Amino acid sequence: MKRKDIIKKTATEAGISTVKAEKLVNGIAGLLLNELYNFKGNIETKYSRPHFNIIRLTEYMISTPARRQMIVKNQKRKKSLFVEYYNEASIVISKFISEEINEEGYWEECHRINNKRIYTDLSEVNQSMCIFYLEEFEKIIYDVQFDKYKKKTGKKKQQKAMLHRLKLEVNPEVLLCDNNGKTNGAVKLIFDNKPKEKLERDYLSTLLLQYMKLLYGVHIKNTDCYIIDIFGGVIDTAPASCKKIMLDIKAACDEIKDTWKRV
């Protein structure tokens, strides 16, 4: 059954709008995939020092104390295998932004993913989620023309940065360069089943800015570091003044280091 049929059936049987049904199906699919993928990764890696990616650190910043402790515990004993169910969508969107493929190529990739032969339930859910994010990106596809930059697709696994003695993983999907090929900015794609609030976007974009400064130099400007919230349809840059946000991030990193020793 196609995703659109599942949404329509959910809306009819639950007596809700198709918009609400779409959000519900999307959320359930994400949770299902997390469970399906996680059972394969029973081997845990105990990290000796705090090790966070940009999404988990942002989640930590806005969470309750109990949830924060659980986040740290999960990060310390991170499972070795976790597959991103939106991976194909991320690759296509990244290639489009970096101009590796043009608009025609983008639609061809969407068509290919939509018509892939499915052999398992897991593959069907995976395909459904990728199609969902590609359709969401279509709403802002003409707003991501970063014409003043030369662009290149970021590697899947990029160098980590040490931020307040916490190892930060960001992996921006697109690196923005000047005419001489010098990296002076980045684009980070955010895949989630709900739009990010303004505070979350400020934390995400500020962390991206600090990461880029640590690895590429202090010349990196806030206006050259973009986050794209695919579900929310928002393109944002780091705030011009992020002193207070950086104080919050430093306090959170200090708190994480203390909790890391205890969990």
Mean pLDDT of 120-137: 88
Q: How confident is the model at residue 41 (pLDDT cuts 50, 70, 90)?
A: very low
Give per-residue burial for 15-50: e unless 16+ CB within 10 Å, then b. eeeeeebbbbbbeebbeebeebbeeeeeeeeeeeeb
pLDDT at 117: 85
Give the per-residue pLDDT at 2: 60
Confidence of residue 81 (pLDDT cuts 50, 70, 90): very low
Confidence band for 9, pLDDT divided at 50, 70 and 90 = low
- Residue holding tokens 């995939």? 33
CA-nearest of 206, 94, 210 to 155 is: 94
Query: Which pLDDT does position 255 carry in this prediction?
Result: 95
Cβ atoms within 10 Å of 216's Cβ, excluding its own: 16
Q: Are the C-beta atoms of 69 and 122 separated by less than 8 Å?
A: no
| pTM of the complete model | 0.80
Domain positions in the chain are: 1-39+83-143, 146-262
Measured distance CA(89)–CA(33) in Å, rounded = 15
Q: What is the mean pLDDT of residues 9-13?
A: 65
pLDDT at 33: 42
pLDDT of residue 44: 39
Range with the lowest mean pLDDT among 7-11, 23-27, 190-194, 254-258?
23-27
Read off the pLDDT of residues 151-167 as tens digits, 9 standing for 90 and up.
999 988 899 999 998 99
Which H helix or E strand runs over 96? helix 87-97
pLDDT at 85 over 80: no
How open is the CA angle 215-219-221, to the nearest 5 degrees? 95
Q: Give the C-alpha distances (Å, rounded to integers) separating 7 from 4, 22, 136, 232.
A: 5, 5, 15, 19
Distance CA 59, CA 36 (A): 22
